[in-house]
Amino acid sequence: MKSGYLSFLPLTSGPSIGIPPSFSSWLIPVVLGICILSIEPNCLYAQFGPATPPTPQAQRTSEPLPGPFGSWKEGELVKLHPDYPVWLDKSKKQVVLQGQVCLQRGQLEMLATLRGGKEHESVVSVPTTAQLVHASLIAIGAEPGKPVQYRPEFAAPSGPVLEILVRWIDHESNLQEVHAQDWVRYSRTKREMNLDFVFAGSFFAKDAQGDNHYAAESGDFICVSNFPSAMADVSHRSSADAADLFFEAFYERIPPIGTPVTLVIRPQKEAQAKETPNE
């Protein structure tokens, strides 16, 4: 049994790329649930010790990030690990992350990547591990769906719709909040993206030693191009071909690079994902 946060859990791997497994292990949601019910910050750290990031993409921040931005009563937010800015809001059933703007202008494969990941094709980078956020979503009742499938025929990503809010402090010291779609637009028409994000769930694969690895740790965190490894993805076909990317950063709406931002992720259990883009 390995040491370190979440890496010790008995995760079950599913089939190869294109057919994702679910988190069939009961232990992840149970452990997080215990922490939520106890409302004790750093509960997981206290039980299991410091994390060992599984990949360089989950590097710690070089400078402390402020936040999270928003109004919470004392004890409402439970920090899930001392080294990563990820919190759980039990009462509102939402996951809260802190990151920073890493791109204002350019084509996009992702809304958000992991720190050290595809920051040249993402608007926001977050210093966390993808599996921590995945497990947090499960702990508040979200069941992962399926990532994109390309063979034998195309199947769009599926899963619970995720409402994602972005918060930051503007140059006049005012708190701003928008939906994540406001920062993304269609490359061809320049219209705001109208597709939903869904909790696709990525997949697990075994290495030569038989150890499980969560594919989203490569940096495919909250995507706007379809990747089988995406933890979250858009709900419609969206090319991952670098020469034919559908989306770009909505430059005029995005604050300067380096601006700290809070992402608030809320699973929408009853919502149906949009099936047709409005380009």
Distance of alpha carbon 216 from alpha carbon 113, whole angstroms: 9
Residue 1 within any structural domain of the chain: no
225 CB burial (10 A radius; 0-12, 13-18, 19+):
buried
Residue 127 within any structural domain of the chain: yes
- Closest by CA to 162, choosing from 263, 233, 88, 268, is 268
Residue 111 phi, psi dihedral angles, 5° rounding = -75, -50
Residue 41 within any structural domain of the chain: yes
| pTM of the entire predicted model | 0.77
Distance of alpha carbon 35 from alpha carbon 236, whole angstroms: 35
Residue 9 within any structural domain of the chain: no
Domain limits for position 67: 27-268
What is the per-residue burial (b if ≥16 Cβ within 10 Å, else e) of 81-104? bebbbbbbbbeeebbbbbbbbbbb
Number of H helices, E strands in the chain: 3, 16
The predicted structure's pLDDT at residue 275: 56
Contact 86, 133 (CB under 8 A): yes
Residue 156 within any structural domain of the chain: yes
One-letter identity of residue 109: E
Report the number of distinct structural domains present in the chain.
1
Joined tokens for residue 198: 């869904």
116 Cβ partners below 8 Å, 6+ apart?
56, 57, 58, 59, 125, 219
The structure tokens 């106890």 sit at 38
The predicted structure's pLDDT at residue 244: 53
Contact 207, 190 (CB under 8 A): no
How many other CB atoms are found less than 10 A from the CB of residue 274? Answer: 14
To the nearest 10 degrees (0 to 180), the angle between helices 27-38 and 130-139 is 70
Distance of alpha carbon 8 from alpha carbon 202, whole angstroms: 19
Distance of alpha carbon 257 from alpha carbon 168, whole angstroms: 12
pLDDT (tens digit, 0 to 9) for every residue of the chain, 279 residues total?
Answer: 333 333 333 333 333 333 344 443 434 444 455 444 444 444 433 333 333 343 333 333 456 777 798 888 888 899 999 999 999 998 999 999 999 999 999 999 999 999 999 899 999 999 999 999 999 999 999 999 998 888 888 888 999 999 999 999 999 999 999 999 999 999 889 999 999 999 999 999 888 888 888 999 999 999 999 999 999 999 876 665 454 557 999 999 999 999 999 999 999 976 666 656 666
Distance of alpha carbon 178 from alpha carbon 164, whole angstroms: 9
Residue 278 within any structural domain of the chain: no
The predicted structure's pLDDT at residue 239: 60
Per DSSP, 52 falls in state -
Residue 99 within any structural domain of the chain: yes
Residue 12 within any structural domain of the chain: no
248 pairs with which residues across the strands?
107, 185
